[in-house]
Amino acid sequence: MLLNVYICETTIKYLAMKLKFILVFFITAGIMFSCGDDKKADGTDANKVTKNEAFSFNVEQFADIKILRYQIPGWENLSLKEQKLVYYLTQAGLSGRDIMWDQNYRHNLKIRNALENVYANYGGDKTSNDWKAFETYLKRVWFSNGIHHHYSNDKLKPEFSSDYLKGLLTDTNTKLEGEAFDVIFNDKDAKKVNLTKDVDNVLLSAVNFYGPNVTTADVESFYKAKTSPNPEQPLSFGLNSQLVKENGVLKERVYKSGGLYGSAIDEIIKWLELAQGVAENKAQGDAIGILINYYKTGDLQTWDDYNVAWTAATDGNIDYINSFIEVYNDPAGYRGSYETIVQIKDFDMSQKMAVLSENAQWFEDNSPLMDEHKKDTVVGVTYKVVTVAGEAGDASPSTPIGVNLPNANWIRKEVGSKSVSLGNIINAYNNAGSTGRLKEFVHDDEEYELEKKYGQLGDKLHTALHEVIGHASGQLNPGVGETKETLKKYASTLEEGRADLVGLYYLYNPKLQELGLVDDWKAVGKAAYDGYIRNGLMTQLIRLKLGDDVEEAHMVNRQWVSAWAFEKGKADNVIEKVTRDGKTYFNINDYEKLHELFGQLLRETQRIKSEGDYEAVEALVEGYGVKVDQAIHAEVLERNKQFTSAPYSGFVNPVLVAETDDNGEITAIKVTQPDTFDGQMLNYSKIYGFLPEEN
């Protein structure tokens, strides 16, 4: 769950006075939601950008991907010490970049190094279709941190032959052979994460969290035998290790200094130690120190100690996410992907949006959950709008726009959580241009005008409610295990859908207007409901190939929420399926009834989580979230052909350049922008390639 937050003393009266400003922000802020449903200081291939009006957000487009840039507004307002902290944290993040590549697939680093050597040294014909196909393939590999698609998990298919690649390798004196070469073209390791029902999901997933002969049953039995010293504070077993089988015996290879990925982790530690030396306050410095100790030892109790300290460290202008965190890439839900985001607080918008975290208890008390599933006291929910200064690992090039952490349920209940909205990332999406798809898929002019006027505001509020209220709400029944144990492969999509439903339930509620966040709660709610159903049942399908199931956790949850509401509302014609001129539309006839349905489903999803009801979550997800109406899918793809904008977007990172005096002391840090995607990727491999090809 992706987020980080700040509580301030802003009153509702003050917010009401500032309503006009808030609305201007929301209307320009927009949204592309990812939560948990997703990267620097080399100074090369970069141009300084000084004026926002001259800033180009678009870099290039290839295949199904659009590459954008983002700015770091307010950088010049930071002190040199604060800039150093940001610089050291971004360097720490990038130092672990190759960990994500190796986690994604065991041959990724070997393949990437070979392809990059060809790209940099080939002197032959670069105008041929084969070479252009090679370039596109390499860029797709860069974007996905490996040879599997970043969203669908399918292996990327090159549009050039194996003979052509062999020729390129020969011409550039590059070595790539055996399984690492063959897998580019064959059908092996076809899915990075395979969540198909009734198969061995661990065995059939290519992700490198497990040895090639480890099964789902192995994983379940291995961790069932582990017990936490304090059962009320269960450790995150498996989070920072690879599980392998040696001579028939299961063992963990722990990510730590001196262990798996140790050479990269030592670089991370080096930069974190420098960051600790310029920490803004003792609490922040202490938290960084515990993180350093965690990287040195790999101890999971230290990880919990760090999360407690990090969650409580809410003062200061700078914050960060760093380590092995989100478990979406693990078919068994144990292992965390390497991820970092470095953040600068947006003071003005954090203050104005603090109203949500200040009223977290009201939202919990008034939710449709069963009483026994509500928290008596919602603690430590902090919310910030932040400016991203750098990302790496699982957060780049494809980035989330909101984050809520930590993920441990007991820490969230006893200590609290941090939530962040990545303001400058959202701004970059909004300024990168419109695709015109909206007009094609809305049911009528009324829906179109509602979306134009209130859609971005509704999306922004949905993300905030999802992160701040949704992930912080509810509690497990006494004695019920963690969701990765009870709900298994469905845990991630159930949690994201549950948080979505919290947001949907409260989007159509006069409380938002009472808090000064909207001027017409019904209009905002209608626009949000229209957009969610339209996306969940139709427009998100442009991301899938015809015939594919929905598999990515966030896409799955948007479909099962929408499809369940559509089916359950059929008797009252709540959502009407309309066919006009050979085209399908979904029109909401009764928003009040849909609000009730969202409340019913929220109550049920919380019950499933609280009770650990595996049979119920399996029926919900498999029954509504995975299979696609093939006729509608084919129609959506045909209707979408007229639009040239790629369905996925990601980012190059700004480049922080440290200037030093004769003694090597940093005197200034400048923000520059990369000219090209390939330039940044090649520089990253050259400067931050701290891992061997095989680990």
What is the secondary structure of 8-69 as a DSSP string?
Answer: ----HHHHHHTHHHHHHHHHHH---------------SEEE---GGG---EEEEETTEEEE-
**Tokens 């390497």 -> residue:** 338
Cα distances (Å, whole numbers) of residue 476 to 185, 327, 394, 491? 46, 19, 28, 13
Whole-angstrom distance, CA of residue 396 vs CA of residue 381: 26
On whether the CB atoms of residues 334 and 250 are closer than 8 A, the answer is no
pLDDT score at 434: 57
Regarding beta strands 648-651 and 65-68, do their DSSP bridges make them parallel or antiparallel, or are they unpaired? parallel
Which amino acid appears at position 106 of this protein? R
pLDDT score at 28: 34
pLDDT score at 468: 87
On whether the CB atoms of residues 388 and 70 are closer than 8 A, the answer is yes
* Residue 357, helix vs strand vs coil: helix
Q: Where are the alpha helices (DSSP H) in 479-629?
A: 483-486, 491-507, 511-514, 521-537, 553-568, 591-611, 614-621
On whether the CB atoms of residues 208 and 242 are closer than 8 A, the answer is yes
Q: What is the dihedral of CA 180, 184, 185, 188, to 10 degrees?
A: 70
Backbone dihedral region of 563: left (phi > 0), alpha (psi from -120 to 50 degrees) or beta?
A: alpha
In 363-405, beta strands by DSSP E: 381-393, 402-405
pLDDT score at 433: 66
pLDDT score at 214: 98
pLDDT score at 41: 28
Q: Which of 156, 613, 102 is nearest to 335 (CA)?
A: 102
pTM of the model: 0.83
On whether the CB atoms of residues 537 and 564 are closer than 8 A, the answer is no
On whether the CB atoms of residues 688 and 268 are closer than 8 A, the answer is no
Which amino acid appears at position 297 of this protein? T
Whole-angstrom distance, CA of residue 103 vs CA of residue 336: 9
Residue 421 main-chain phi, psi, to 5 deg: -110, 130
pLDDT score at 695: 97
Rg (CA), the chain: 24
Whole-angstrom distance, CA of residue 63 vs CA of residue 67: 11
DSSP bridge pairs for 656: 671
Whole-angstrom distance, CA of residue 561 vs CA of residue 533: 9
On whether the CB atoms of residues 451 and 438 are closer than 8 A, the answer is yes
Cα-to-chain-centroid distance, residue 375? 26
Cβ neighbour number for residue 570 with a 10 Å cutoff: 11
pLDDT score at 258: 98
The whole-number mean pLDDT for each consecutive block of 10 residues of the chain, a chain of 695 residues, reads: 33 31 33 36 33 77 96 95 98 98 98 98 97 98 97 96 98 98 98 95 98 96 95 96 96 98 98 98 98 98 98 95 97 97 86 83 96 91 89 96 91 91 88 78 95 90 90 93 93 96 97 94 97 96 92 94 98 97 97 98 98 97 96 95 90 97 96 97 98 97
* Residue 581, helix vs strand vs coil: coil
Q: Is 283 exposed, middle or buried (0-12, 13-18, 19+ CB in 10 A)?
A: middle
Whole-angstrom distance, CA of residue 87 vs CA of residue 131: 37
Q: What is the dihedral of CA 214, 216, 219, 224, to 10 degrees?
A: -150
